[in-house]
Amino acid sequence: MTSIDKAAALAPVSAEALPALRRRITAVLVASQILGGLGVATGIALATVLAQQVSGTEALAGLAPTATVAGTALLSMPLAALMTARGRRPGLVLAYVIGALGAGVVVLGAVVGNFPLLLLGMAAFGAGSSANLQARFAAADLAEPERRGRAISNVVWATTIGAVLGPNIAAPSGRSVSGLGIPAAAGPFVWAAGVFLVAAVMVFVLLRPDPLLTARALSPADRSPEGRSLRAGLRAVRESPMARLALVTVAVSHTAMVSIMSMTPVALGHHGASIELIGLVISGHIAGMYAFSPLMGWLADRIGRLAVIGLAAGLLALAALLAGTAGASHGQTAAGLFVLGLGWSAGLVSGSTLLTDSVPQPARAAVQGLSDLTMNTAAGLGGAAAGLIVAQASYGWLNLIGASLLLPMAALTVRRALRPLPGS
């Protein structure tokens, strides 16, 4: 047991104090999630514009968000290893600090006109997304098993505020740096760096006691350090069919969503949609992703994780059908993207909850990091392939392929529902 674990164990939380501690931890995580989501959305809003300006070509503009996704994926496991060893608080603080430093490097790359430096900064900026993803698992550390889905979904919901506000302050943040020799498109990253640092300070000061270490202190049978390694996490996934289903659910839901969503603005543009209309469609999609996550968490707790995974598969398939057959019907495309967001929300919340349920407490942080690595790597590949599919075939074919990704997830869900394994 580490010294931090010993400190947590020396000051155990009483049963009477635990509900208040859960509420306080959740409040801190929700507040930091709002700030983290605001920082990510503010920076990403003009990332492709800034990349185009620095690189001098539209062909390379898409590399900026791709670098961010790659950074999020690459940082998932190191941050999970730190959380496994030291707790949630050090991992979340470090992630926000790296995100802030990355934003600073982006600004520097923009000022000196160095595109590789800008991409390096974008990759480090992805740590902010890593922190946001890990926060949902921190909310589950102390949650009662029958309320775990709602605990995760409440933190996911908080992202809505930042995701909506972020793009709207991109323009003011650009104007705020006009007299500093910084390109206006880099202004959002100046603000994002500040927001990430505020989030880091908030977590450092207020996320006490650490939820993961407290959960370990409350589970004396789960204190073995040997069970907390990344190797133990991989073993836990191999030994649990439910954990494997959860990983597949999160990865497939995220990949299908990113692949279809990323090419929808292009498809809308080909059918004469204005920039304003495209913005409205994407806003509706984001609302579907986050605003209804508490409902998905309630359903996961009330009717079961597997039922909501099945709901996710159905919603994602319906979204692909609507969007893929919409043609010039902008209203149908908008409906498809909204349903796509709902399907993603159902898959992320139910899959994350099932994953936490399905592995021993000591291995959870490592397994959760593996989940974020898997989902972001798969989505990065899916997003890159989406452009090629649309260029070589069509947007309709992209949706058909996205729907076909759901088949393994649906088959595994049916199999587990019909043949549940005790202890899995």
Fold match flag (1-223 vs 230-416): yes
Mean pLDDT of 274-302: 87
User: Taking 70 as the threshold, does the pLDDT of residue 231 lie above it?
Assistant: yes
pLDDT score of 1: 42
Lowest mean pLDDT among 7-21, 62-76, 276-290, 390-404: 7-21
Domain boundaries in the chain? 1-223, 230-416
Mean pLDDT in residue range 270-282? 80
What pLDDT does residue 272 have?
87
Region of 87 on the Ramachandran plot (φ > 0 left; ψ -120 to 50 alpha; else beta): left
Q: What is the mean pLDDT of residues 227-247?
A: 83
Mean pLDDT of 31-42: 89
Say yes or no: domain 1-223 is CATH 2.130.10.10: no
Domain 230-416 grouped into CATH 1.20.1250.20: yes
pLDDT for residue 419: 75
Radius of gyration of the chain (CA): 21
Q: Which amino acid is at 69?
A: V
pLDDT band at 261 (very low <50, low <70, confident <90, very high): confident
Chain mean pLDDT for the chain: 87
Residue 77 or 314, more confident: 314
pLDDT of residue 409: 94
Out of 13-22, 81-90, 387-396, the most confident range is 81-90
Q: How confident is the model at residue 2 (pLDDT cuts 50, 70, 90)?
A: very low
Per-residue pLDDT reduced to its tens digit, 168-212: 777 788 788 877 888 888 898 999 999 999 999 999 999 999 999
> Please, which residues have CB within 8 angstroms of residue 361's CB and are 6 or more apart in sequence?
215, 216, 219, 222
pLDDT surpasses 90 at 300: yes
Q: Could you tell me the pTM of the whole model?
A: 0.83
Percentage of the chain beyond pLDDT 70 is: 92
Q: Which of 123-137, 146-160, 213-227 shows the lowest mean pLDDT across its residues?
A: 213-227
Alpha helices per DSSP H over 115-240: 115-125, 127-140, 148-168, 170-176, 187-206, 211-217, 230-239
Q: Given this model, what pLDDT does residue 191 score?
A: 93
The reported pLDDT for the residue numbered 221 is 57
Give pLDDT, residue 217: 83
- Check residue 9 and give its pLDDT: 43
| Neighbouring C-beta atoms of residue 266, cutoff 10 Å | 14
**Mean predicted confidence (pLDDT) in 56-82:** 83
Share of the chain above pLDDT 90, in %: 47
Which pLDDT tens digit goes with each residue over 335-392? 999 999 999 999 999 999 999 999 988 888 889 888 888 998 888 888 778 878 888 8
